[in-house]
Structure 1
Amino acid sequence: MEIDYSLYLITDRSFLKDRSLKSAVEEAILGGVTLVQVREKNVSTREFYNIALEVKEVTKYYKVPIIINDRIDIAQAIDAEGVHLGQSDMPIKFARKILGKEKIIGISSGNIKEAIDAEKDGADYLGIGTVFYTGTKKDIKTPIGIEGLKEVCNSIKIPSVAIGGVNETNFKEVLDAGVNGISVISAILGKDDIKQAAKNLINR
C-alpha cells in the first residue's frame, strides 16, 4: 500500500468546541490531509470503537488511510489500515503477528536508538518527536528540536513524520530536516476554518 505521509492528522476532540469529529475530519481531508490517526485517551473501548467507526466512514469515502492510536483491537475491529504504537505499547513483532503483513505499523521514536530498533523490528514508518513543546504531550520533558529530528532522520531509511508542536509557523524547517511529512493536531483542528488550515499547510 502506497502511503502519502505529507499531512498526517491526529484527532483530538478537545479542540473541536461544538463541532463533530466526523465533519471536522471531512473538512481536513477536503483541505488536503493525507492520513488520519484516531487518538482517544480517556474513553471506554465501546466509545473508542464507535468514534473510530464513524471516522472510518469519512476516510473510506475519500480513500484516505485511517490509523488507530495504541489499540490493536480497535484497529482490527474496524479494519483500519494500521496502528500507531508508542514505546510502552505492544512490541512491533507481536503487533505484526496479530495484524498481518498488509497493515501499517507506525512507532513513536524520540531518539536514534528507538528509531533504529523500530526499523529493525519492521515498523512501516516512524513518528519522530516530540520536536517542540506541545500542549497535548504533558509528559515530555525535553523536546528533541530540529537538530535531534535531523539526526533521527539520518539514521533510518523508512518514512517518517515529525510529531509534537508542529504548526504553520515552523513546519518548513521541520520538513527541511528530512521527514516525509508533518503530523498535526491543533494546527488544523484548533482553527475556525479547518479546511482552509489544512489547505494552507499542504499548499505551502
Structure 2
Amino acid sequence: MMMDLRSKLQLYLVTDTALCSDVGLVETVMQAVAGGVTMVQLRAKDATTLERIDMAWRLKVALAGTGVPLVINDDVEAACAANVDGAHIGQGDMTPEQARALLGPSKILGLSCETPQTVKAADTGRVDYLGLGPVFGTPTKSDHKAPIGFDGLAQLVTLSHVPTVAIGGLKADHQDQVWATGADGLAVVSAICGQPNPRHAAEQFRSKIRTSEVQA
C-alpha cells in the first residue's frame, strides 16, 4: 500500500458526521468511493473513542475489497483498536514519534501542516504524508489556521519530502490550481459530505483528475 500512497491521496474524503447525517455516514462514504474517492479519513470531532471505533468498524467492513484506505483523524487509539489502515494527526495532538510507536511500522500516518516551519520540522522518518492547508477558510473546521491560498500551498509542497494533500474549502473547480502546485491530492469535506448525491459530487472531481493525468 505504501508504494502507491501518492495515487491513494488523489481524491481524499474527510468525513463530517453532521453533514453526512441525512444520507448516512457509511452510505455517503460508499457512494463517494463509487464516484472515485481514493482514500477516506474518518473525522468525528464530537465523538468518543468508542464511538469512533464503532464507526470505523462499520466503514472498514463496507470498504473491504475496494482498495480504498481508511484512516482515523486525531485518535490513534481508535485507529489501533479498529485496526484500520492508519491515522492522521495535527500539530496539537500526540507527536509523530508517539503515534508511530502505537501504530507500528506498516500503518499510514498523516500529519497536518500549516506553515513552512511545521513542514520543515515534519518527521519524515515516521510520517508518510502531509495534509497542507487550509487553502481557504471552511466552516467544517472552526479552529483552523489562517488560509494559505494556492501560493502558500505551492510553497509548502515544495518544502515537503513526503507526499502531500491539499485541504481547506476546496471545490471541483479548484483542481487545476491544486495540481499546478504539485500537490499529490486534494482533501474534500463539504463538497461531497452533505451533498444530495455524494457519488455525483465525487465524479465531478474524478473526471478532472483523469483529465489532468492525461495532460501530464
Structure 1 and Structure 2 fold alike (TM over 0.5): yes
Runs of 4+ in structure 1 deviating by more than 3 angstroms, as ranges, are: none
Residues 119, 156 of structure 1: 8 Å contact kept? no
Match for residue 138 of structure 1 among 120, 127, 142? 142
Q: Superposition pairs for residues 140-159 of structure 1, below 5 Å?
A: 140-159=144-163
Residue 100, structure 1, aligned to residue 104, structure 2: yes
Native 8 Å contact 2:42 2:72 kept in 1: yes
Q: CA RMSD in A?
A: 1.3
Distance 1:127 1:90 in 2: 16
Separation in 1 of the partners of 2:142 and 2:69?
A: 28
Inter-CA distance 139–88: structure 2 relative to 1 (3 Å threshold): same
Deviates more, 1:53-62 or 1:25-34: 53-62
Are the aligned partners of 1:93 and 1:121 in contact in 2 as well (CA < 8 Å)? no
CA contact (8 A) 2:49 2:75 kept: no
Paired residues of 1:119 and 1:158 also in contact (CA < 8 A): no
Q: TM-score, normalised by structure 2?
A: 0.90
1:60 maps onto 2:38 in alignment: no
Matching residue's letter, 2:39: L
Aligned equivalent of 1:80, options 71, 84, 87: 84
Q: Give 2:23's match in structure 1, choosing from 19, 35, 39.
A: 19
Letter in 2 for 1:74: A
Q: Is structure 2 residue 100 aligned with structure 1 residue 118?
A: no
Secondary structure of 1:107 counterpart: strand
For residue 38 of structure 2, what is the amino acid of its counterpart?
A: T
Q: Is the 8 A contact 1:7 1:202 kept in 2?
A: yes
Equivalence for 2:207: 203
Structure 1, gaps ≥5 residues long: none
Secondary structure of residue in 2 paired with 1:188: coil
- 2:120–2:160: 8 Å Cα contact kept in structure 1? yes
Q: Distance in 1 between matches of 2:127 and 2:50?
A: 28
- Identify the match of residue 47 of structure 2 among 19, 43, 46: 43
SS in 1 for 2:72: strand
1:131–1:146 Cα contact (<8 Å) kept: yes
Shift of 1:119: 4.1
Report the secondary structure of 2:44's partner residue: coil
SS at match of 2:60: helix
Asked whether the equivalents of residues 6 and 180 of structure 1 are also in contact (C-alpha less than 8 Å), the reply is yes
Aligned residue identity for 2:205? L
User: Which amino acid in the other structure matches residue 80 of structure 1?
Assistant: V
Instruction: Judge conservation of contact 2:23–2:194 (CA < 8 Å) in 1.
Output: no
Distance of 1:161 and 1:141 partners within structure 2: 16
1:33 aligns with 2:37: yes
What is the rounded CA distance, in whole Å, between the counterparts of 2:184 and 2:168 in structure 1?
15
- 1:168 is matched with which residue? 172
**TM-score (ref. length: structure 1):** 0.95
1:201 deviates by 0.3
- 1:69 and 1:17 map into 2 onto residues whose CA distance is 18
Provide the rounded CA distance (Å) in 2 between the counterparts of 1:67 and 1:17. Answer: 20
Displacement after TM superposition at 1:17 (Å):
4.3
In the alignment, the residues of structure 2 paired with residue 137 and residue 31 of structure 1 have an alpha-carbon distance, to the nearest angstrom, of: 24
